[in-house]
Amino acid sequence: MANVLTLFIILPLLAALFSLPLRRGRDWFFTATAASLLALALYCYQIRPINNLIVFKFNGISFLVLDGLSHFFLLGLALAALIYAFYSFGDSKAKPFALYLLAALSGVILAGEMISLLLFSLIMLFGVGHFCQKEGKQIGLGEKASLALAGLFLAVGLISIMFFSGSTLLPMAIGNYPLVVKVLVIAGFALIAGVVPFHRWLVNAGSPLIYAMVNSVGLYGLLRFSYNIFGLDSRILLLMTALGLLSLLYAGLIALARKNIAYNNIAQTGLALTAAGLATPLGIMAAIFHILNLIMIKPLLVYADEAADKTKGVVVFAALLAGWLANAAIPPFNGFWSTHYLVLATVQKGNWPIAALLIAGALLILVFSIKTLKEKCFSGESGEGAKVSWPQGTALMVSVLLCFLVGIFSSNVIMQVVNPAVIALANGTGYAKMVLGGLQ
């Protein structure tokens, strides 16, 4: 049963290898792989006992681990990949690299021991640069240096943890380390998540796949280590809150000044990170739910924006409207609920300055969203006469429907998808016992 976990890595890797020499058919390869991964992620909900985990052991060590948190992120990853598959249908240059990236990202999420985690992370960082170049993004020295720095932080941090704990197993790494080690790991994942002050690479390299998948994996690392490995160290939680608020306010302001979606996405990540730093059940739930919503919203904003520049029609209008309203936290879309839970979580915590700053940041995002919506939807200017192609239209409509349906059925989504991840995080260092078989 646990062998199924290897498929999350092997499938995209094989697909990448097979599709690389192909000139035609890359799109189909990618779409089929993404769909298979989504089906696999959903299948795992059937086989994984609730609030428990599946461990794939290799040579007696827990090589891959699927718990509530990693399951949540795998589902998000597969969903984002499938939507990307449809939207970018016909543009197959970057597809093999996207598959390669998908394998590495799945590896980071599933990794149960630190050497594989480090390797998958380095492969992922290497893949990000190549993927962005193939996507036509301007990847300069600064961006490459940022990605390399993330790799360096993680390498030094994880090797130090292995040194101090005397084990390569992630569950064995639970313990108290020097602050600098913890900060290095947090900084590494913060760079991948693209939060301020580690955000510059994302502004130029940002693409829907990076926003939805790579940044999410960065957040995964931040959550996994701060909650399950470092055991809710108050200094690390404070650092996360500070990084979250800085990202939220700073990037929120720049988004307004420069009318740039990348900064909006950084601010949104900051919103989730701020709540994650609260370490309350409601805060964790709000953060996880917001991350899920961002996986849907961020790519939709970019896709709709691109589509609006070239085409027009009801689908593009609906995509712009739903995307920006969800981003602005206007009901009935999904962003409304998660943003409101974020506000409630900070108020519940009783830390008024944080609550006030979070609300101010959410207001900045709202203002940016509504202003952009006005320019895109109500300015009277529209793209050329052409209509959006069917795969792109499908991707946009699926995203719109997801934003709408998750908003309408938010309580069900929270119960079924979000809560297992919340429980995994709230379990704190109990994660180790579960992985090591104590609760299995």
Partner 1 sequence: MPLLAYIIILPVIAAALCLMFKRAAAALAFVMSVDALFMAFSLFTGGRQELPLLSLQAYPLNSGIYLVAALIVLLTVLYSLKFIGRHERLGEYYGYLMLALAATAGALFAEEFLMFFLFWGVMGLALYLLIGIGGKKAAGAAQKTLIILGGSDLLMVAGAGLVWIMTGRMEMGGTLLAVNNPLALAAFLLLLAGAFAKAGVMPFHSWIPAAAEGAPTPVMALLPAALDKLVGVYLIVRISLDIFLITPGGTASLILLAVGSFTIIAAVLGALLQHDLKKLLSFHAISQVGYMVVGIGTGLPVGVAGAIFHMFNNALYKSALFFCSGSVERQTGTTEMKKLGGLGQKMPLTFAAALIASLSISGVPPFNGFVSKWLIYQGIIEGGQANQLWIIWLMAAMLGSAFTLASFVKLLHATFLGQGAELTAKAREVEWPMWLPPIILAALCVIFGVFAYQLPLRYLILPAFARFIIPGIWDPGLATSMLGVGLALGLLIYLLGNVRSVTQRPAFYGGEILPEETIKVTGDDFYDTVKRIRPLEQIFKIAERKVFDLYEVSRVVVGGAAKIASRIEEKIWPMF
User: Which residues of this protein are in contact with partner 1, per CB under 8 A?
Assistant: 142, 197, 200, 250, 253-254, 256-258, 325, 328-332, 336, 339-340, 343-344, 347-348, 350, 355, 359, 362-364, 366-367, 370-371, 373-374, 377-380
C-alpha span between 186 and 191 (Å, rounded): 9
Residue 35 or 344 having the CB closest to partner 1 = 344
Phi and psi angles of residue 437, each rounded to the nearest 5 degrees, phi first: 100, 0
Residue 96 or 407 having the CB closest to partner 1 = 407
Residue 118 or 366 having the CB closest to partner 1 = 366
Least Å distance, CB 339 to partner 1, is 8
Residue 36 or 338 having the CB closest to partner 1 = 338
- Bridge-based pairing of strands 54-58 and 61-66 is antiparallel
Q: Cβ of 162: how many Cβ atoms within 10 Å?
A: 18
Q: Return the axis-axis angle of helices 114-134 and 95-110, rounded to nearest 10°.
A: 160
Token look-up 């108020």 returns: 347
Least Å distance, CB 53 to partner 1, is 32
Residue 224 or 349 having the CB closest to partner 1 = 349
Residue 110 or 249 having the CB closest to partner 1 = 249
Determine the length of the chain: 440
Nearest to 151 by CA among 129, 182, 126: 126
Upstream peptide bond of 332 is cis (omega within 30 degrees of 0): yes
Least Å distance, CB 411 to partner 1, is 9
C-alpha span between 199 and 290 (Å, rounded): 19
- What angle (nearest 5°) sits at the alpha carbon of residue 209, between those of residues 288 and 284? 5
Least Å distance, CB 331 to partner 1, is 4
Burial class (CB in 10 A: 0-12, 13-18, 19+), 362: buried
Least Å distance, CB 132 to partner 1, is 19
Least Å distance, CB 24 to partner 1, is 38
